[in-house]
Chain A
Amino acid sequence: MNPLWLTSIPQPDPLPQPAPGWLLWGLLLLTFFLHVLPMNFVLGGSIITAVARWRSRSHSAMHAATLTQWMAKAMPVAIAATVTFGVAPLLFLQVLYGRLFFTSSILMAGFWLAVVPLLIVAYYAAYVVAFRGQRHSRWAGPLSWAMAILFLAIGFIYVNNMSLMLRPERFVELYRADGRGLQLNLADPTLVPRYLHMVLGALAVAGAAIALHGWVSRDRDPEFGNWAMRHGANWCAGATALNLVVGFWWLLAVPRPALVQLMTRVPVIALFLGVAVGMVVLTLAVMTARAADPLPHVKWLISGILITLMLMIITRDQVRSASLADSGFTPATWVEPQWGAIAVFGWLLVVGLATIGWMIGTLQSSQQHSRR
């Protein structure tokens, strides 16, 4: 079989892949997971912060103000982490699916490149809020909303590209209709549920991160700690409840043949496990939010959300490969592993992660020092 669109995407590189497919795939999922953690904190956190700022105004709620202050300080770090951890999965995506991903990026080049200026503006806004938030508090509210909107826009662009690359059979048609690089994937029925699923997931994870922050700050300020755990769990519960519905919407929007492909694969277990653990997370989140003493529940909540996230990342990958298998796309099979290079990469990955851990530790302790 040689579908017509195969001639529209670049042929496989006339070079072998430098590592076995399973390793590249494993690294893609691992590094994507590492990227999603700070990314969800940035995307969901910017929304939660904007809402909290708006609320703390009318209710003059002290805890909300403390929370927004911490979020404001954490945001620039989280943005930097998101970008840095985004590079690795982007590269693995290119190695495995570059022929599709480059083509879809070109079709929507105008929007895709717009991510950079949008991000720069949001990043500056984060710094202004973090360092001048007190002095120019008049601006902090509008700037927080602007950040939330910018990150939502960036996410929308990403979801467009990630879903457009699964539709190679539409590439040429889109290009013929308009070749200026201004195509989005709006006609795709999976686009809206997929985007909502990502945003709601980000809200749930950011909620869990706030709960974690509450847990950590409980020793210093028990009242705020308890409030933050409940507040985070509230967001987590609301977002997860909606997400269970939106997730099924997405699944049903996947074209029938691809859905059949997906459901007949063994790894689809991840989907069912993910839904099950998601329901547990929902229960735990409600319990945390309601409990007089949220502490006993909060670590289960955080573990649950991390497990759900991993399972859902596997599921997302399975949706991708099922859709592509249905289109007739086969990944490159010519592999000549360069174990030396892989070993260097693995070593650097470990050292890099250790360095980042050390940096976060240093940052944490310096913040605690400055507070005392």
Chain B
Amino acid sequence: MVRAAAQVSLLASLALVVITLAIVLTRHLVMARTLASLAMVAGLLAFGGAEWVREGLRKPYVIGRVMFVNAVRMPAASGARPTAVPDAFTVDALNAGGLLKASAWTRLPDVDDATVDEVTYATAEGREVFKILCSSCHTVDGHLGVRPLVQGRGVDALTGMLGRLADPVDAAGVPTSWSNPAVQLTTWRGRRMPPFVGTDHEKRALAVYLAHLGGAGPEALASALSGGAGVDDLGRRFFEENCSMCHGDGGGWPFAGRPPRSADEFYEMLGKLPELNEMMPAFPGSDTERRAVAAHLAALTAGPDAKESAR
């Protein structure tokens, strides 16, 4: 996209020069109106393309490695002066202290209002988090609208995605901390979004809000909020959070419908995910989680669909 915009801008600039010369040289004002209109269009395209490139190149930062588009800053920005007021809007400060607390610009329902249930409140919190963190790029239904992007996604899958919007790595791709001055980003599917910042509670609230936009009903949201922690649920949840963007129903490589395998077989495979496909990272959890996910996958492939296609 940026490359195309750069080409458009370059061509339009050339056209602008040529047309302007043509206007100057043909002093008798041949086709003055047409030429002037063309010059205007070329000028708009040249500027528009250049602006697009400028915006595109710096994303997700406004100031490279210092400040993201949503004004969230790196911890103690390199070279910055110590400020009189400690910066409350850095990645570290927000992760520790919470986003909603650090921002004055929130409009939340009254906590003590009995008519506001847990789901409504979490949705409202999520909406505020979205406004602060995401609305510098996304609208809800308009440009880069988020509603179609989260259609049909569950709270767990979204929570997982939010945890991976952007991770700090060093030049060699090894995870590092945000305060590393040479930090680079690996972003979710290369979308070049800034990281989620805030507490786990706020991440969950944002996921609830997004799932709500994606069409999840109040019951689904409520059960996600109160999510139990049984072994069966652990596997499902871990899978939802870490794998469903590729292997869920909406992803490119769903599990439902595959030939059944046993939990033990899956357990083995989970030990060598990057070998199975280079797109996959190594299994990102504990042994308990690995077992739980294996059981969940076995259950998934043994589903009614799977039996049918196996026949």
Q: Which residues of A contact B (CB under 8 A)?
A: 2, 4-8, 10-15, 172, 175-176, 179, 334
CB-based contact A7/B104 at 8 Å: yes
- List, sorted by A's number, 19 A–B pairs whose CB atoms are closer than 8 Å: A4-B104, A5-B104, A7-B103, A8-B105, A10-B71, A11-B85, A11-B89, A13-B63, A13-B67, A14-B66, A14-B73, A14-B77, A14-B80, A15-B63, A15-B66, A172-B104, A175-B107, A176-B107, A334-B81
Q: What mask results when residues 86 to 108 of chain B are scored 1 for a CB within 8 Å of chain A, else 0?
A: 01110000000000001111010
Which of B71, B73, B105 has the most chain A CB within a 10 Å cutoff?
Answer: B105
Q: Give the residue name and chain of the B residue nearest to A334 (CB).
A: B81
Q: Which residues of B contact A (CB under 8 A)?
A: 63, 66-67, 71, 73, 77, 80-81, 83, 85, 87-89, 102-105, 107
CB-based contact B107/A179 at 8 Å: yes
| Chain A residues in 8 Å Cβ range of B104 | 4-5, 7-8, 172
Roughly how many angstroms separate A61 CA and B87 CA in the complex, as a whole number? Answer: 67
Roughly how many angstroms separate A103 CA and B19 CA in the complex, as a whole number? Answer: 42
B288 to nearest A CB, angstroms?
Answer: 42
Q: Which of A4, A7, A15, A172 contacts B88 (CB 8 A)?
A: A7
Roughly how many angstroms separate A334 CA and B87 CA in the complex, as a whole number? Answer: 15
| Chain B residues in 8 Å Cβ range of A2 | 85
Roughly how many angstroms separate A334 CA and B104 CA in the complex, as a whole number? Answer: 25
Roughly how many angstroms separate A223 CA and B231 CA in the complex, as a whole number? Answer: 100
| Chain A residues in 8 Å Cβ range of B67 | 13-14
CB-based contact A11/B102 at 8 Å: no
CB-based contact A11/B83 at 8 Å: yes
Q: Which of A11, A12, A175, A334 contacts B105 (CB 8 A)?
A: A175
| Chain B residues in 8 Å Cβ range of A175 | 105, 107
- Closest 6 interchain pairs by CB? A8-B104, A14-B77, A14-B80, A172-B104, A14-B66, A334-B81
CB-based contact B73/A7 at 8 Å: no
Roughly how many angstroms separate A1 CA and B284 CA in the complex, as a whole number? Answer: 47
The dominant DSSP class at the A interface is: loop
| Chain A residues in 8 Å Cβ range of B73 | 14
Q: Give the residue name and chain of the B residue nearest to A7 (CB).
A: B104
For the complex with contacts A4-B104, A5-B104, A172-B104, 17 further pairs of A-B residues with Cβ separation under 8 Å are: A2-B85, A6-B85, A7-B102, A7-B104, A8-B104, A8-B105, A11-B83, A11-B85, A11-B87, A12-B83, A14-B63, A14-B66, A14-B73, A175-B105, A176-B107, A179-B107, A334-B81
A168 to nearest B CB, angstroms?
Answer: 11
Roughly how many angstroms separate A189 CA and B19 CA in the complex, as a whole number? Answer: 54
A80 to nearest B CB, angstroms?
Answer: 15
| Chain A residues in 8 Å Cβ range of B77 | 14
A362 to nearest B CB, angstroms?
Answer: 15
| Chain B residues in 8 Å Cβ range of A8 | 104-105
| Chain B residues in 8 Å Cβ range of A7 | 88, 102-104
B234 to nearest A CB, angstroms?
Answer: 39
Roughly how many angstroms separate A274 CA and B262 CA in the complex, as a whole number? Answer: 90
| Chain A residues in 8 Å Cβ range of B63 | 13-15
| Chain B residues in 8 Å Cβ range of A10 | 71
Roughly how many angstroms separate A176 CA and B71 CA in the complex, as a whole number? Answer: 21
Roughly how many angstroms separate A6 CA and B83 CA in the complex, as a whole number? Answer: 13
| Chain B residues in 8 Å Cβ range of A13 | 63, 67
Q: Give the residue name and chain of the B residue nearest to A15 (CB).
A: B63
B239 to nearest A CB, angstroms?
Answer: 39
Roughly how many angstroms separate A172 CA and B103 CA in the complex, as a whole number? Answer: 10
CB-based contact A172/B85 at 8 Å: no
A84 to nearest B CB, angstroms?
Answer: 16
B81 to nearest A CB, angstroms?
Answer: 5
A169 to nearest B CB, angstroms?
Answer: 12
B275 to nearest A CB, angstroms?
Answer: 43
CB-based contact A172/B83 at 8 Å: no
Q: Give the residue name and chain of the A residue nearest to B87 (CB).
A: A11
Q: Give the residue name and chain of the A residue nearest to B85 (CB).
A: A2
Which of B83, B88, B104 has the most chain A CB within a 10 Å cutoff?
Answer: B104
| Chain B residues in 8 Å Cβ range of A6 | 85
Roughly how many angstroms separate A143 CA and B67 CA in the complex, as a whole number? Answer: 48
Q: Give the residue name and chain of the A residue nearest to B88 (CB).
A: A7
| Chain A residues in 8 Å Cβ range of B103 | 7
